[in-house]
């Protein structure tokens, strides 16, 4: 009897933790977990397996190397994330997707931290804000601007698929992930288990495909072939979030992305019916970004 009471107590405790967690888990995971459980086993054991999957997904995340610097920065106007990465030993830094209006903030931070900005990179030619790369070159003259060759935009350095960029002993690899625009790239820092997905993959969403060279089938393939094939524990950092999220993982997006978990035809249908208004800045941002953001930038004295 004592044994029975103890078993029931454990089962209900497991259920108390597992039920909220299960809300976030897809039917597919529950089903695959169920394959390993005898049909007679109680549902609390199902929930325990689900909980174990959930914990495993989180505890396999990598931690950054001690000499790797990472800072996520935000522009409230365009909901854009920029990312400052650096080698703490050599002080060489790169800045991903800077925003014109935040260039002074970013330059000040880089100087305060004692870094030297080697590269200012864009994941793609943005349509909703003017890039800060042009202005940063003026504020921090050693900066080299970078974008993909297939973007069609001007920059000091053009990247091809799989090319790497080094800063100190660290490097990022540029993966071509077209679909939102032709020139979209995802930047991966393999040693740290992180990737910067630009507008290709957003948290529980993705970039729209209804202007520039947008193509939903291409975007679907980019995500499934280049991002979802990265290790599941990789942390993903998008160029935007409109709901207050900061980051995600390959594992999470493969399970919970409401668009990209669908088959390609259903995805195309979703993308054809987003009916989003055009970005307010598009007519100014695209021509400016084609010139690396060197367009109406403030003149330094």
Ligand X SMILES: N[C@@H](CCC(=O)N[C@@H](CSS)C(=O)NCC(=O)O)C(=O)O
Is the Cβ of residue 78 or residue 176 nearer to ligand X in the bound state? 78
205 binds ligand X (CB under 6 A): yes
Is the Cβ of residue 76 or residue 300 nearer to ligand X in the bound state? 76
178 binds ligand X (CB under 6 A): no
Is the Cβ of residue 166 or residue 266 nearer to ligand X in the bound state? 266
Residues 58-77 that bind ligand X (CB under 6 A): none
Cβ-based neighbours of 28, under 8 Å, separated by 6 or more: 255
280 binds ligand X (CB under 6 A): yes
Helix (H) or strand (E) holding 286: helix 282-290
**What is the Cα–Cα distance from 109 to 103, expressed in whole angstroms?**
10
- Single residue of 29, 204, 279, 290 touching ligand X by CB under 6 A: 279
Is the Cβ of residue 85 or residue 260 nearer to ligand X in the bound state? 260
How far from chain centre, in Å, is Cα 117?
22
Is the Cβ of residue 92 or residue 253 nearer to ligand X in the bound state? 253
Burial (CB count <10 Å: 0-12, 13-18, 19+), residue 200: buried
Contact predicate 200/175, CB 8 Å: no
124 binds ligand X (CB under 6 A): no
128 binds ligand X (CB under 6 A): yes
Q: Is 233 helix (H, G, I), strand (E, B) or coil?
A: coil
56 binds ligand X (CB under 6 A): no
Stretch that binds ligand X, among 28-36, 143-151, 204-212, 292-300 (CB under 6 A): 204-212
To 5 degrees, how large is the angle CA 155–CA 156–CA 159? Answer: 75
Least distance in angstroms from the C-beta of 281 to ligand X: 6
- Single residue of 137, 208, 226, 235 touching ligand X by CB under 6 A: 208
Helix (H) or strand (E) holding 19: helix 2-22
Binding-residue pattern over the window 234 to 253 for ligand X, x denoting contact by CB under 6 A = ------x-------------
**What is the Cα–Cα distance from 225 to 101, expressed in whole angstroms?**
34
The two structure tokens encoding residue 160 = 């091809």
Which candidate, 207, 212, 248, places its Cα nearest to that of 228? 248
Stretch that binds ligand X, among 9-17, 28-36, 185-193, 279-287 (CB under 6 A): 279-287
Stretch that binds ligand X, among 83-91, 109-117, 186-194, 203-211 (CB under 6 A): 203-211
Which candidate, 272, 266, 260, places its Cα nearest to that of 226? 260
57 binds ligand X (CB under 6 A): no
Which candidate, 203, 209, 170, 22, places its Cα nearest to that of 90? 170
Stretch that binds ligand X, among 99-107, 153-161, 217-225, 277-285 (CB under 6 A): 277-285
Give the ranges where 101-147 is alpha helix by DSSP (H). 103-112, 133-139
Which candidate, 75, 282, 85, places its Cα nearest to that of 191? 85
Least distance in angstroms from the C-beta of 82 to ligand X: 14
- Single residue of 14, 127, 155, 236 touching ligand X by CB under 6 A: 127
How far from chain centre, in Å, is Cα 131?
18
Stretch that binds ligand X, among 86-94, 153-161, 200-208, 290-298 (CB under 6 A): 200-208
Positions that interact with ligand X (CB under 6 A) = 78, 127-128, 199, 205, 207-208, 240, 276, 279-281
């Amino acid at each position: 009897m004592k044994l029975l009471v103890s078993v029931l107590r454990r089962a209900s405790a497991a259920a108390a933790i597992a039920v909220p967690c299960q809300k976030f888990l897809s039917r597919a995971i529950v089903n695959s977990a169920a394959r390993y459980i005898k049909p007679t086993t109680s549902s609390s054991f199902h929930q325990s397996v689900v909980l174990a999957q959930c914990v495993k997904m989180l505890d396999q995340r990598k931690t950054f190397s001690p000499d790797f610097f990472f800072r996520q920065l935000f522009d409230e106007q365009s909901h854009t994330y920029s990312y400052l990465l650096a080698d703490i030993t050599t002080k060489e830094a790169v800045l991903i997707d800077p925003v014109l209006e935040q260039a002074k903030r970013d330059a000040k931070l880089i100087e305060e931290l004692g870094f030297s900005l080697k590269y200012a990179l864009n994941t793609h030619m943005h349509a909703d804000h003017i890039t800060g790369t042009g202005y940063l070159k003026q504020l921090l003259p050693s900066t080299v601007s970078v974008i993909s060759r297939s973007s069609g935009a001007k920059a000091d350095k053009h990247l091809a698929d799989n090319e790497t960029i080094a800063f100190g002993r660290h490097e990022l690899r540029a993966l071509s992930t077209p679909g939102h625009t032709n020139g979209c790239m995802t930047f991966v820092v393999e040693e740290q288990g992180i990737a910067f997905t630009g507008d290709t993959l957003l948290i529980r969403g993705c970039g729209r495909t209804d202007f520039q060279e947008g193509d939903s089938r291409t975007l679907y393939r980019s995500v499934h072939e280049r991002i979802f094939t990265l290790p599941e524990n990789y942390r993903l950092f998008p160029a935007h979030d409109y709901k207050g999220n900061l980051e995600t993982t390959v594992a999470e997006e493969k399970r919970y992305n409401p668009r990209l978990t669908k088959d390609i035809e259903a995805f195309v249908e979703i993308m054809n019916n987003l009916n989003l208004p055009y970005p307010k800045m598009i007519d100014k941002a695209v021509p400016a970004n084609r010139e690396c953001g060197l367009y109406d930038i403030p003149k330094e004295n």
